[in-house]
Structure 1
Amino acid sequence: MRIALLTEGGYPYVSGDAGVWCDRLVRGLGQHRFDVYALSRAAHQEEAGWIALPPQVGRVHTAPLWRAEEDGVSYGRRARRRFAECYEELAAALCEGDSPDATAPSGAGSTAQADRFANALYGLAELAHDEGGLVGALRSETAVRALERACRAPGALRTAREGRLPDLLAVVAHLERALRPLSLDWYDDQGGAEGASLGSVDLCHAASGGAAALPGLLAAQFFDVPLLVTEYGVRLRTHYLSAGGPPSPAGSGNTPSAEAAPAVRALLAAFHGRLAAEVYRQAACVTPGNAHARRWQERCGADRAKLRTVYPGMEASRFADVGDAPDAADPHTLVWVGRVEPAKDLVSLLHAFAEIRREEPRARLRIVGTAAGAEGRAYLGHCRMLAAQLFPYEAAGPHCVGDDPVSFEEVGAPEAPTPADAYAAGAVVVLSSVVEGFPVGLVEAMFCGRATVSTDVGAVVEVIGGTGLVVPPRNPRALAKACGALLRDPARRARLGAAARARALELFTVEQNVAAFHGIYLDLVSRAPVSPHVFDDDGEPHPFAVPAEARVPGLWIDLAARGTGRQSPSWAAGPPVGEAAPVAATEGAR
Structure 2
Amino acid sequence: MPGLLAKRFFGVPLLVTEYGVDLRAHYLAGHCGGQGASTAADTCGGHGASAGPLAPGASVPPGASLPRLSAPVRALLAAFRRALAAEVYSQAALITPGDARIRRWQQKCGADPAKLRTVHPGVDAERYAAVGEAADPGDPYTLVWVGRTGPGKDLVGLLQAFAEVHRREPRARLRLFARPAAGEEEACYLAHCRSLAAHLFAAGASDDLDVHPAAAGPVSFEPLGSDGGRTTAEACASGAVTVSASSVEGFPHTLVEAMLCGRATVSTDAGAVVEVIGGTGLVVPPRSPRALADACLALLGDPARAARLGAAARSRALELFTADRNTAAFRALYLEVISRSPVHRDAVGAYGEPLPFARPAEALVPVGWGSSAPQAGAS
TM-score normalized by structure 2? 0.81
Q: In the alignment, what sits opposite 2:3?
A: 216
1:475 to 288, 293, 297: 288
Relative to 1, partners in 2 of residues 1:535 and 1:515: Cα closer, same or farther, differing over 3 Å?
farther
Correspondence for 1:538 among 349, 355, 358:
355
Per-residue CA deviations over 1:84-124 (Å, capped at 9, x if unaligned) read xxxxxxxxxxxxxxxxxxxxxxxxxxxxxxxxxxxxxxxxx
Determine which of 307, 311, 314 is the counterpart of 2:120.
311
Alpha-carbon spacing, 1:414–1:487, altered in 2? closer, same or farther (3 Å): farther
Give 1:519's match in structure 2, choosing from 332, 337, 342: 332
Given residue 324 of structure 1, which amino acid in structure 2 is its aligned partner? E
Aligned CA distance change for structure 1 residues 541 and 452 (closer, same or farther; 3 Å): farther
Q: Which secondary structure does the structure 2 equivalent of 1:216 belong to? A: helix
Structure 1 residues 224 and 414: CA distance shift in structure 2, 3 A: closer
The residue number in structure 1 matching 2:273 is 460
Q: What displacement does 1:251 show?
A: 8.9
Are the aligned partners of 2:175 and 2:221 in contact in 1 as well (CA < 8 Å)? yes
> Are 2:199 and 1:389 aligned?
yes
Question: Are positions 1:451 and 2:264 aligned together?
Answer: yes
Aligned with residue 502 of structure 1, among 295, 315, 319: 315
Q: Percent identity?
A: 61
Q: Residues 347-496 of structure 1 correspond to what in structure 2 (within 5 A)?
A: 347-370=156-179, 371-395=181-205, 397-399=207-209, 400-402=213-215, 404-411=217-224, 417-496=230-309
Q: What residue in structure 1 maps to residue 86 of structure 2?
A: 277
Tell me which amino acid in the other structure corresponds to 1:226.
Answer: P
Is contact 2:266–2:292 with CA below 8 Å preserved after alignment?
yes
Q: Does the CA contact (< 8 Å) of 2:98 and 2:119 recur in 1?
A: yes
Specify the alignment match of 1:193 in structure 2. Answer: none
Q: Does 1:225 align with 2:12?
A: yes
Q: Is the 8 A contact 2:206 2:219 kept in 1?
A: no
User: Is 1:570 equivalent to 2:357 in the alignment?
Assistant: no
Distance 1:535 1:268, change over 3 A: farther
How far residue 529 of structure 1 moved from its aligned partner, in angstroms, is: 1.2
Aligned to 2:102: 293
Structure 1 residues 535, 311: closer, same or farther in 2, change over 3 A? Answer: farther
Q: Distance in 2 between matches of 1:459 and 1:511?
A: 21
Alpha carbons 1:429, 1:445 under 8 Å: kept: yes
Instruction: Report if the CA contact (8 A) 1:224-1:531 is conserved.
Output: no
Among 152, 158, 163, the residue aligned to 1:343: 152
Post-superposition Cα deviations, 1:455-513, rounded to whole Å, max 9, x if no partner, equal 00001001101111001111000000000000001111111101100010111111101
Stretches of structure 2 that go unaligned for 5 or more consecutive residues are 38-51, 60-64, 349-353, 360-364, 371-379
Cα 1:535/1:428, change in 2 over 3 Å: farther
Q: Which moved more, 1:508-517 or 1:215-224?
A: 215-224
Distance in 2 (alpha carbons) for counterparts of 1:339 and 1:425: 18
CA distance in 2, matches of 1:249, 1:266: 9
Deviations 1:270-329 (A, max 9, x none): 111011001000100000011111111000000000000011111111111110125340
**Structure-1 separation of matches of 2:198 and 2:97:** 43
Q: Which has the larger radius of gyration?
A: 1
Q: 1:313 to 1:355 in 2, by over 3 A?
A: same
Q: 1:570, CA displacement in angstroms?
A: 3.0
SS at match of 1:366: strand
How far apart, CA to CA, are the structure 2 residues paired with 1:541 and 1:522?
29
Deviation of the 1:215 alpha carbon = 1.6
- Contact 1:416–1:422 (8 Å) recurs in 2: no
Letter in 1 for 2:172: A
Q: What residue number does 1:302 align with?
A: 111
Q: Which has the higher contact order (CA 8 A, sep 6+)?
A: 2
SS class of match (2:248)? coil
How far residue 395 of structure 1 moved from its aligned partner, in angstroms, is: 4.4
Q: What's 1:237 paired with?
A: 24
8 Å CA contact 1:223, 1:572 repeated in 2: no
Q: 1:394 to 1:219 in 2, by over 3 A?
A: closer
Q: Map Cα deviations across residues 184-232 of structure 1 (whole Å, 9 max, x no partner).
A: xxxxxxxxxxxxxxxxxxxxxxxxxxxxxx1211222232221000001
Matched residues in 2 for 1:388 and 1:541: separation?
79
Partners of 2:358 and 2:313 in 1: CA distance: 50
Inter-partner Cα distance in structure 2 for 1:378 and 1:327: 36
Which secondary structure does the structure 2 equivalent of 1:340 belong to?
A: coil
In the TM superposition, residue 528 of structure 1 has moved relative to its aligned partner by 0.6
Root-mean-square deviation (Å):
2.9
Rate the CA distance shift 1:267–1:488 in 2: closer, same or farther, 3 A.
same
Structure 1 unpaired stretches of 5+ = 1-213, 543-567, 574-590
The aligned residue for residue 48 of structure 2 is: none
Report the CA distance between 1:340 and its aligned residue: 1.1
Question: Is the Cα contact below 8 Å between 2:206 and 2:216 reproduced in 1?
Answer: no
Amino acid at match of 2:196: L
TM-score of the two chains, using structure 1 as the length reference? 0.53
Q: Quick check: 1:319–1:448 contact (8 Å CA) kept in 2?
A: yes
Contact 1:341 1:372 in 2 (8 A): no
SS of residue paired to 2:136 = helix
Give the superposition deviation at 1:530. 2.1
Aligned partners of 1:428, 1:517: CA distance in 2, in Å? 33
Q: Quick check: 1:455–1:470 contact (8 Å CA) kept in 2?
A: yes
Matches within 5 A, 1:166-245: 214-243=1-30, 244-245=33-34
Q: Is the 8 A contact 1:531 1:541 kept in 2?
A: no
Q: Are 2:206 and 2:220, in contact at CA under 8 Å, matched by a contact in 1?
A: no
Q: Identify if the C-alpha distance between structure 1 residues 431 and 232 changes in structure 2 by more than 3 Å, giving closer, same or farther.
A: same
Aligned CA distance change for structure 1 residues 367 and 313 (closer, same or farther; 3 Å) = same
